[in-house]
Amino acid sequence: MNRSLVAAIVLGAGAAAGIAPAHAAEYPSEPLNYVICFNPGGESDITARIQEQALKRHYKQGVVVSYKIGGGGSVGWSDLVHSTKPDGYTLAGHNLPHIVLQPLQRGNAGYQTSDLENVYIFESTPNILLVRNDSPYKTLKDFIAAAKGKPSGLTLGGSGSASANELGTIMLNKAAGIRTTYVPFTGSGSAAPALMGGHVSGLMSYSTMAIEHKGKFRALAIMTDERMKVLPDVPTFKELGYDLVEGAYRGVAAPPGTPDDVVKKAAAIFEDVMNDPEVVKKMDENGFKIEKMGPEQSTAFVNSRIPLYKDLVKDLGQAKAK
């Protein structure tokens, strides 16, 4: 928070002194470099691909989706913070809870949560509890009863460590007083075959996977406030008596020190893109939940999550291997 505050003050002073870059008024006048910090084919990549066409209407010089992969996103974000020109023409996709948990968990993640200049948060993928179609667990109640029957016997696969999926599993364990073991996979895609093959009892996955594998998986409950339109038959945890709302939130961030008006213009462009009927249709079809949080809103949202995640972080990676 401090650093971006200082940056804002410095920039404000700069603007007052009349040294603000002259071309800021014409943003965008250069191509956009849209950096994806995760593997191609993942949720972040697919979202960027959905947005790309609509973005091109605003960035007339072009949109380049490029990849800076590694460290669960930290390599790309660290690069954004430390060696990217803050002109608004390089934006990186970012991801909650990652950008909060990494600096909390690691000695040095290469960036601080507050270093990232939030531009826009445009989607979320709520956590969803999935089992196989032929599983004996027909409802969440069945699942929890079974988990109570075999302490530490049930396993839940999910995407990544210190991810929304793992947090969701921990939250469920706490709320229901059970002890399922979370098994992290490298991405939501690679967790799916483990459930199909019966190697894990269920998945704590994202809404997108429930849509993609409709014919094979049964969704027991979803961690949203209200039922999702595309999954009308899936009850929320809230309805079933567990106040659990959690998922991954994705958006774009700019390097620290990006002029405020540029951030605002970029946010306006993303707002417009997320209103594009074609984009909305594809997001819906694929199970993404559209969020619309501008710069202030998304920063406030990120800050509001920090205490919650801090509370859960000590429970991460608890299962003993011995």
Partner 1 sequence: MNARTKDRVGSLLALVFVASLAVQRDYSTSFGGIFPDSIMILLVLLVLATFVLSFTPHAAMKDRVREGAPEAAEDLPRRKPMVVVAVILLAWALLLRPVGFALSSIVGFTAIAWYLAGERKDPKVILRSALVGIAITAALMLVFGQLLRVPLPRGSLL
Partner 2 sequence: MLSNLLTGLQHLATLQNLLLVIAGTTVGMVAGALPGLTATMAVALLVPFTYAMTATNGLVLLGAIYMGCIYGGAFSAILINTPGTPSSIGTTFDGYPMARAGRGEQAIVAATIGSAIGGVFGVIALIFLAPLLAEVALRFGPAEYFWVGVFGLTIISSLAQGSMLKGLAGAAIGVLISTIGIAPVGGDVRFTYGSVAMQGGVDLIVILIGLFCIPEVLTIASRAHVRAESLEYKRDKGVFWNTTKEVLAQRANLLRSSIIGTIIGILPGAGGSIANLVSYNEARRASKTPEKFGTGHLEGVVATETANNAVVGGGMIPLVTLGVPGAPPDAIIYGVLMLQGLHPGPEMFKERADVTYTFMLGLGLSALVMVPIGIYGGRLLTRFVATLPKRYLVPGIAILTIIGSYAIRNNITDVILMLGFGVVGYWLKYLGFEASPIVLGLILGPIMETGLVQALLIGQQYSSPWTALFVSPLSWILIALSFLSFVWPYFGPLRRKFQKPALAPRQP
- Please report how close the Cβ of residue 36 comes to partner 2 at its closest, in angstroms: 9
Per the structure block, which two tokens stand in for 129?
């509890």
- Calpha distance 121→309 (Å, rounded): 18
Is the distance from CB of 253 to CB of 92 less than 8 angstroms? yes
- Please report how close the Cβ of residue 64 comes to partner 1 at its closest, in angstroms: 5
Enclosing H/E stretch for 280: helix 277-285
Q: Which of 61, 66, 139, 152 binds partner 1 (CB under 8 A)?
A: 66
Binding mask 200-239 for partner 2 (x = CB under 8 A): x-----------xxxxx-----------------------
Question: Is 51 a residue that touches partner 2 (CB under 8 A)?
Answer: no
Task: Please identify, using beta-carbon distances, which residue of 52 and 261 lies nearer to partner 1.
Answer: 52
- Please report how close the Cβ of residue 317 comes to partner 1 at its closest, in angstroms: 3
| Part in contact with partner 2 (CB under 8 A); list of ranges 19-27, 146-154, 242-250, 268-276 | 146-154
Using CB under 8 A as the binding criterion, the count of chain residues that bind partner 1 stands at 13
* Cβ count within 10 A of residue 297: 15
Is the distance from CB of 4 to CB of 256 less than 8 angstroms? yes
Question: Is 229 a residue that touches partner 1 (CB under 8 A)?
Answer: no
The end-to-end CA distance of the chain, in Å, is 40
Per the structure block, which two tokens stand in for 33?
């470099």
- Please report how close the Cβ of residue 55 comes to partner 2 at its closest, in angstroms: 11
**Amino acid identity at 41:** G
- Calpha distance 32→64 (Å, rounded): 6
Task: Please identify, using beta-carbon distances, which residue of 110 and 259 lies nearer to partner 2.
Answer: 110
